[in-house]
Structure 1
Amino acid sequence: MKTFKNYLVGGATFILLLTLVACSEPTSEKSAAEAKLITEQDTVFIGFLLDTLQDERWYNDKELFEEEVANLGGRVKTLAANGLDDVQISQAELLIEEGVDVLVVVPRDAAASAAIVELAHEADVKVISYDRLITNSDLDYYISFDNERVGELQAQEIVNNVDTGNFAYIGGAESDNNAILFRQGAMNILQPLIDSGDIELVYDQYTEGWNPDVAEENMLSALDEQGDDIDAVVAANDGTAGGVINALSTVGLDGEIPVSGQDAELNAVRRIVDGTQTMTVYKSINTLAVQAAEMAFKVAAGDDIPTETTVNNGQIDVPSILLEPITVTEDNIDETIIQDGYLNEEDIYTTP
């Protein structure tokens, strides 16, 4: 059951997406259904807070997470904040009031989302940070990929193609802790080459809001500053890579220099096939969503979650599960994302 509500925040209207899984009541009886969720003591009720549903990747997470919660016999309400911090905090308050057993959060802003953890803990509700880390808080658990490793894979594949010359780094949103980790990982690979003088990092800029249009503007600035003399680009995800490639196309360099990405989005994989993007990083969203749902159920039951590592969020060492990312190039598309069922061959290889 899906319903949409319009809200006015800061003079702008946004759409709030509400999703209830395994709920048989019709939309007209929504209030009664929500009340029933609170009183069903044997049913796990999970709140899933997303930063946005504007990116292809997050639709996949949403559907897979909800499906697994339903398979486990629980209920989930998914709310998307459309990139607004105050909205996400208000949505957390709403779900806490409705009686969720646990909150699973993709934070809009790593630091601002600490308020969500505080609100949840006041109501004895635990919080799992999903994919992105909530910083400066007593966060209960974190599940993601080894994001520093993601950055290493991005930079290494670019260096495998070009290991001298002028490099540009087009990062993600600095407000997202993952973007900082991606850059840190990339610099693990690039810094020795910078120190040796083999490469020069001539442009290094984060991308506000992960916005591809901003990434395109940044890349145009880099090209202008360097007189189009750019030999390689490490872009933090597939969205920013798309913006970079648009900018390169204006000077005839698309397909001529290597560009990294991440998330294995359909358009990015098509660009890899076409030769304008060098690589992406596949993070098995299937695995992430399923394990996050299973973790949420255990947390709701009061079980301790066995973890092999911790990640410091600026306040505590958060018990964490970090999954392994995979480099995808034109040589291994079939045995990675297609074999895993993440994307299908027809969509990738058929011209839209």
Structure 2
Amino acid sequence: MGRRYVRILLFVFIVLYMWALVACEDSEETLISEVTSKSSGADTDHEIEFLGEKVKIGFSMDTLEEDRWVRDRDLFKEAVESLGAEVEIMAANGDDALQLLQAETLISQEIDVLVIVPHNAEATAAIVNKAQLAGVKVLSYDRLIKNADIDLYISFDNEQVGELKARAITSRVPTGKYVYIGGAITDNNAHLFKSGVFNVLKPLIDNGDISIVYDQWTKDWTPTNAFANMEAALIANNNEIDAVIAANDATAGGVIEALEAQGLAGEIPVAGQDADLAAIQRIIEGTQTMTVYKPIKPLAEEAAILAVKLARGEKIETNTTVNNGKIDVPSVLLSPVSVELENISETIIADGFHTREEIYNQKEQ
């Protein structure tokens, strides 16, 4: 009787033990299913979570001293938050040391991804190294970070930006003396813009139709430095200049100020890019010929999506790679748009980039 009793107890114990194992497995499967559902976006409120917490993005910006970068900041923030993620934003206003310090601060806040608009394409590699040591992925925004193992790059086709500017000006001035006012030599985009411009100009230079009588970089992209460059170009050529291609609208503004001082504004075609409000107004006034519009809203929104995907370790589809001196960086490049007087309404205004009231200085009733 004693042995039989022991056997019964042993049988009951085994049954209970097996039942507990099955219950634990079911619980684990349920938990895995819930985590998988959230990571695949199946959750109903679209909150984006990463290992149980919201994705956190750091946005390190070169500057907020130009109109377009304020727009980038606001649009990127809105897009990230609409995805249920968080974003911390800092701007260094052209100070390399400050940008490094700010990036370190963002990394210390346990962000998942660092999005960077570099002031100095080379110096920013130090930021990437610090991010990697902390296990933080890096997305290079609009400007390429050189000689670093960045995870992703999103921008516009910046050589195409230069090509659009050169085509617009050469269609008006097929022969003559040209001035090129570049951007900051530390900015990789400035080199890409210039490369695109000279892709178009080189055949005309080679056959003698066009001569480049002045070619200079503009320190920190400032209108003041662009003004000084253009002033030097005018002095060197006794004001005998037929066309100017500027790296962006800020530098174009400096160029036009120098032309105004000599009574030449509106007489010499000037190209820029960024579609700044002041530039659009100059196009209407006739002192600037064209600008290149880079639709910032899709750039910011796509960057937000990509940053969140990077954080979650999801597969990302890119349309090209760009070599940054160290690696071929997976890249997403968007298309820019040429804007002249004739198509302002169909481009800038239609997209809501600037309102008609803003452009024409009219107040809404």
Q: How does the TM-score come out when normalised to structure 1?
A: 0.88
Match of 1:49 in 2: 60
Change over 3 Å in CA distance of 1:333–1:198 after alignment to 2 = same
- Equivalent residue, structure 2, for 1:22: none
Q: Structure 2 matches for 1:70-219, cutoff 5 A?
A: 70-219=81-230
Structure 1 residues 39 and 146: alpha-carbon distance in aligned structure 2, compared to 1, 3 A threshold: closer
Taking only the aligned residue pairs, the percentage that are identical comes to 57
Unpaired segments ≥5 residues, structure 1: 1-37
How far off its partner does 1:257 sit?
1.1
Q: Distance in 2 between matches of 1:39 and 1:96?
A: 17
Summarize deviations over 1:93-146 as a string: whole Å, max 9, x none: 111111001000000100000011111111111000000000001111000000
Q: What is the correspondence of 1:263-274 to structure 2 with a 5 Å cutoff?
A: 263-274=274-285
SS in structure 2 of the partner of residue 200 of structure 1: strand
> Matched residues in 2 for 1:224 and 1:41: separation?
64
Shift of 1:42: 2.4
**2:340 alignment counterpart:** 329
Q: 1:258 — aligned with what? A: 269
- Structure 1 residue 39: Cα displacement: 11
Q: Which deviations, in whole Å up to 9, do the C-alpha atoms of 1:136-177 show, x marking residues without a partner?
A: 011110000000000000111010110111000000001000
1:232 pairs with 2:232 = no
- Measured in 1, the distance between the counterparts of 2:308 and 2:195 equals 33
> Quick one: structure 1 residues 122 and 284, their matched pair in 2 at CA, closer, same or farther if it must change by over 3 Å?
same
CA apart distance, 1:249: 0.5
Paired residues, number: 315
Partner of 2:343, secondary structure, is: coil
Structure 2, unmatched stretches of 5+, are: 1-48
Distance 1:39 1:260 in 2: 45
Partner amino acid, structure 2, of 1:154? K
Displacement of 1:351 in angstroms is 6.5
The within-5 A match list for 1:293-304 is: 293-304=304-315
Give the TM-score, by structure 2 length: 0.85
CA shift for structure 1 position 350: 2.4
Matched residues in 1 for 2:233 and 2:199: separation? 22
Distance in 2 (CA, whole Å) between partners of 1:58 and 1:70 is 18
In terms of fraction of residues, the more helix-rich structure is 2
Alpha-carbon distance in 2 for matches of 1:63, 1:311: 27
**Aligned-CA RMSD value:** 1.3
Q: Give the secondary structure class of the aligned counterpart of 2:280.
A: helix
How far residue 41 of structure 1 moved from its aligned partner, in angstroms, is 3.6
1:216: how far off?
0.4
Q: Tell me the equivalent position of 1:32.
A: none
CA distance 1:151–1:52, change in 2 (3 Å): same
Alignment partner of 1:310 out of 302, 318, 321:
321
Greater gyration radius: 2
SS at match of 2:330: strand
Query: Contact (CA 8 Å) 2:50, 2:311: kept in 1 or not?
Result: no
| Alignment partners' CA distance in 1, 2:61 and 2:95 | 11
* Distance (Å, rounded) in 1 between the aligned partners of 2:316 and 2:216: 37
Write the distance in 1 (CA, Å) between the matches of 2:319 and 2:278. 35
CA contact (8 A) 2:140 2:150 kept: yes
